[in-house]
């Protein structure tokens, strides 16, 4: 049975609810994830502003928001409110903001289009995954308004801090429940993505002809399917402790003879938590692997090597989680094992990084906004990767683990790279999504302010951590030895405020371009992957005829091709006289 028979053409729905609310169209669901994820990022960014205000000006009223949120304390943050702010900032960014963009939006939009499919393998499941994600967000937001407020035990929700003794009230329970529900949505999406790539690839689209974007999203889905259930299991057991009086994670004389183990939760959390780093970064690696080639106008260097590196990182990511637990007193033998495994995962990451540099080396670079953000990812990930090496070794991690060094490294490696990668993807696929171009001038201003501010904020933060400043303190200056670090904290906050403010440029550009941007052509970037063979935006069923692929995704800078076509690129479906798939020096050959 052909792909045309497997994927019949369906007429677009006519009723409002099926077309705009409960749509089965992967492209519309992608836009729903995109807008919802951006709203959660705005909320997470607002909480980040409040954290940095407290650290720069402890005890002073928060401008604009203080009197509205904390009238009883004169507009300033209380210790318990501060715990809630930094806890919810981390949770929202890691589980509701960035994943909705990188996995929900880009995954939904690009997978069918880039593999030549008319929709996802399970369209109803796709629709349900979005609305279950929304349900989890509603539960999360409800935690803010219940008595005693939302969760305040840190984004890792370690017991005993997350127990009824450490964090009483309904808010913590609602947040744990929201984590479980968003995990259900994630698993549904993972099943859909994995099946779609395996079953619905266009004829001729072999595994090594897949764009790196698809590889990143597909491997991320495998990690989600394997490890999100582990976090869900830990969350259910923690909910049972809080709600039904069980003792899975409780210990001590007050509990009685039938004791649990708080460290068990840390094992369950980080069994998921370290793969989560790669769940968020693999889509970015895939996107910039393609974009660096597209805008350097040359094939991605050692395409196969980059793919195999991402596969190896995916495999190793489940074996390195113990470096998060060096300070729990694990045995030296086990610690040494995790140290070796942690450092070993650097090798495929270095290969990937070297391939990016070799791709842009001597390329005919077109410095459009998507390319600038892709180069920004290379920059911040390089800094973040190098500064993570001391955290992989036991001797240095023991000193740095509870300091701002960890926070700065984490934000550069995952936060900054994921954010810049998201902007690269939005600018790149915006013409295909909405049929209009984003403003290049605004985009470039937004890039330069963002990349300078984000680099400075987190590098200075690491400097304070290296000087010994602990993380998560409500008022660090009650400690005499930290008072001398106040200038560093204020500098970090100033750059953080600049970073947050700069996102108004993106919001203006995004909204203005949807309604009044320059109309986009079918292929404004002049690249060869399958989505750019369609109108901008594509029709409901994507492809009238499922395409046949004859080459890899990065067919550029081929002199023979240029002489025959009069341009430096060819589509994956384009048959060129005298250049069959065996003759074309494809980047994916």
pLDDT single digits (tens) 28-69: 999 999 999 999 999 999 999 999 999 999 999 999 899 889
Query: What pLDDT is attached to residue 559?
Result: 84
Query: What pLDDT is attached to residue 277?
Result: 93
Query: What pLDDT is attached to residue 416?
Result: 96
- Look at residue 585 and tell me if it is in a domain: no
- Look at residue 6 and tell me if it is in a domain: no
Rounded to an integer, what distance in angstroms lies between the CA atom of residue 562 and that of residue 95? Answer: 45
Nearest-CA neighbor of 114 among 201, 189, 206, 24?
201
Query: What pLDDT is attached to residue 578?
Result: 63
Query: What pLDDT is attached to residue 586?
Result: 38
Query: What pLDDT is attached to residue 230?
Result: 97
Partners of residue 556 on adjacent β-strands: 569
**Tens of pLDDT along 497-554?**
999 999 999 999 999 999 999 999 999 999 999 999 999 999 999 999 999 999 999 9
For all residues of the chain together, what is the average pLDDT?
Answer: 93
Grouping H, G, I as helix, E, B as strand and the rest as coil, residue 33 is helix
**Tens of pLDDT along 319-359?**
999 999 999 988 889 999 999 999 999 999 999 999 999 99
Q: Examine the pLDDT at 582 and tell me if it is beyond 60.
A: no
Nearest-CA neighbor of 356 among 414, 299, 416?
299
Q: Examine the pLDDT at 376 and tell me if it is beyond 90.
A: yes
Contacts of 429 (CB under 8 A, 6+ apart): 106, 109, 110, 531
Query: What pLDDT is attached to residue 258?
Result: 76
Rounded to an integer, what distance in angstroms lies between the CA atom of residue 148 and that of residue 168? Answer: 8
Sole residue written with tokens 């501010």: 453
- Look at residue 396 and tell me if it is in a domain: yes
Nearest-CA neighbor of 369 among 452, 282, 463, 444?
444
Q: Examine the pLDDT at 418 and tell me if it is beyond 70.
A: yes
Q: Taking the mean position of all CA atoms in its chain, how far away is CA 136? A: 18
Please check whether residue 471 is in contact with residue 403, taking contact to mean a CB–CB distance below 8 angstroms.
yes
Query: What pLDDT is attached to residue 561?
Result: 80
Query: What pLDDT is attached to residue 259?
Result: 83
Query: What pLDDT is attached to residue 584?
Result: 38
What CATH number does the domain containing 252 carry?
1.20.210.10
Query: What pLDDT is attached to residue 276?
Result: 93
Query: What pLDDT is attached to residue 529?
Result: 97
Grouping H, G, I as helix, E, B as strand and the rest as coil, residue 403 is strand
* Helix, strand and coil percent figures for the chain, each rounded to 5: 65, 0, 30
Lowest mean pLDDT among 11-15, 432-436, 452-456: 11-15
For residue 291, count other CB atoms closer than 10 A to its CB.
28
**Tens of pLDDT along 186-226?**
999 999 999 999 999 999 999 999 999 999 999 999 999 99
Rounded to an integer, what distance in angstroms lies between the CA atom of residue 4 and that of residue 374? Answer: 35
Domain count, the chain: 1
Q: What's the rounded mean pLDDT across residues 246-275?
A: 88
Rounded to an integer, what distance in angstroms lies between the CA atom of residue 351 and that of residue 103? Answer: 24
Pair of tokens at residue 399: 């000193």
Handedness of CA 337, 338, 342, 348 (dihedral sign): positive
Alpha helices in 297-410 (DSSP H): 303-316, 332-344, 346-360, 369-392, 394-400, 404-410
Q: Examine the pLDDT at 581 and tell me if it is beyond 70.
A: no
| pLDDT bucket at 587, cuts 50 / 70 / 90 | very low
Pair of tokens at residue 198: 């395996």
| pLDDT bucket at 589, cuts 50 / 70 / 90 | very low
For residue 242, count other CB atoms closer than 10 A to its CB.
22
- Look at residue 9 and tell me if it is in a domain: no
Q: Examine the pLDDT at 132 and tell me if it is beyond 70.
A: yes
Alpha helices in 250-331 (DSSP H): 262-296, 303-316
**Tens of pLDDT along 446-455?**
999 999 999 9
- Look at residue 481 and tell me if it is in a domain: yes
The rounded percent of the chain whose pLDDT value lies above 90 is 87
DSSP 419: H
Rounded to an integer, what distance in angstroms lies between the CA atom of residue 311 and that of residue 320? Answer: 15
Per-residue DSSP letters for 100-122? IIIIIIHHHHHHHHHHT-SS-S-
Tell me: cis bond preceding 17? Omega within 30 of 0 counts. Answer: no
Please check whether residue 453 is in contact with residue 498, taking contact to mean a CB–CB distance below 8 angstroms.
yes
Query: What pLDDT is attached to residue 256?
Result: 73
- Look at residue 547 and tell me if it is in a domain: yes
Grouping H, G, I as helix, E, B as strand and the rest as coil, residue 473 is coil
Can you give the pTM of this predicted structure?
0.95
Query: What pLDDT is attached to residue 329?
Result: 87
- Look at residue 467 and tell me if it is in a domain: yes
Q: How many Cα atoms sit within 13 Å of 340 on the Cβ side?
A: 5
State which residues form the domain around 329: 31-565
Rounded to an integer, what distance in angstroms lies between the CA atom of residue 486 and that of residue 464? Answer: 9
- Look at residue 65 and tell me if it is in a domain: yes
């Amino acid at each position: 049975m052909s792909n045309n028979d497997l994927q019949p053409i369906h007429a677009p729905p006519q009723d409002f609810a099926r077309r705009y609310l409960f749509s089965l169209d992967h492209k519309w669901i992608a836009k729903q994830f995109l807008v919802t994820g951006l709203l959660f990022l705005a909320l997470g960014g607002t909480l980040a502003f409040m954290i940095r205000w407290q650290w720069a000006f402890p005890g002073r009223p928060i401008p604009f928001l203080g009197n509205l949120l904390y009238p009883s304390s004169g507009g300033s943050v209380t210790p318990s409110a501060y715990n809630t702010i930094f806890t919810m900032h981390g949770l929202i960014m890691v589980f509701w903001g960035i994943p909705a963009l990188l996995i929900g939006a880009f995954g939904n939009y690009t997978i069918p289009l880039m593999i030549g499919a008319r929709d996802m393998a399970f369209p109803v499941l796709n629709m349900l995954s979005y609305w279950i994600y929304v349900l989890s967000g509603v539960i999360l937001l409800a935690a803010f308004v219940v008595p005693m407020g939302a969760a305040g035990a840190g984004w890792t929700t370690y017991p005993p801090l997350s127990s009824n003794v450490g964090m009483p009230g309904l808010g913590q329970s609602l947040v744990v429940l929201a984590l479980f529900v968003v995990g259900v949505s994630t698993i549904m999406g993972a099943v859909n993505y994995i099946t779609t790539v395996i079953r619905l690839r266009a004829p001729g689209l072999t595994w090594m002809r897949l764009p790196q974007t698809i590889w990143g999203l597909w491997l991320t889905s495998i990690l989600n399917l394997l490890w999100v259930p582990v976090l869900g299991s830990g969350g259910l057991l923690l909910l049972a402790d809080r709600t039904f009086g069980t003792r899975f994670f409780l210990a001590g004389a007050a509990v009685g003879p039938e004791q649990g183990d708080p460290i068990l939760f840390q094992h369950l959390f980080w069994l998921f938590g370290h793969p989560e780093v790669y769940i968020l970064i693999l889509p970015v690696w895939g996107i910039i692997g393609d974009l660096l080639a597209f805008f350097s106008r040359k094939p991605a260097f050692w395409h196969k090597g980059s793919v195999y590196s991402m596969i190896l990182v995916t495999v190793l990511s489940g074996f390195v989680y113990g470096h998060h637990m060096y300070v729990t007193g694990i045995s030296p033998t086990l610690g040494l094992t995790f140290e070796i495994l942690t450092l070993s995962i650097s090798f495929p990451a270095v290969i990937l990084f070297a391939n990016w540099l070799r791709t842009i080396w001597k390329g005919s670079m077109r410095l459009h906004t998507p390319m600038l953000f892709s180069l920004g990812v290379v920059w911040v990930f390089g800094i973040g990767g190098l500064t993570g090496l001391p955290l992989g070794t036991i001797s240095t991690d023991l000193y740095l683990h509870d300091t701002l060094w960890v926070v700065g490294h984490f934000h550069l490696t995952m936060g900054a790279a994921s954010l810049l990668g998201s902007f690269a993807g939005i600018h790149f696929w915006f013409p295909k999504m909405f049929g209009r171009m984003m403003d290049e001038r605004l985009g470039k201003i937004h890039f330069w302010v963002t990349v300078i501010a984000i680099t400075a904020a987190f590098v200075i933060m690491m400097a304070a951590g290296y000087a010994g400043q602990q993380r998560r303190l409500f008022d660090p200056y009650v400690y005499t030895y930290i008072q001398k670090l106040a200038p560093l904290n204020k500098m970090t906050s100033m750059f953080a405020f600049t970073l947050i403010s700069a996102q108004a440029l993106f919001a203006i550009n995004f909204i203005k371009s949807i309604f009044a941007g320059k109309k986009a052509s079918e292929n404004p970037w002049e690249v060869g992957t399958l989505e750019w063979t369609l109108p901008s935006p594509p029709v409901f069923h994507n492809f009238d005829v499922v395409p046949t692929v004859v080459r890899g995704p990065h067919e550029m800078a081929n002199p023979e091709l240029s002489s025959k076509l009069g341009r430096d690129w060819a589509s994956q479906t384009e048959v060129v006289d005298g250049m069959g798939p065996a003759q074309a020096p494809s980047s994916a050959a």
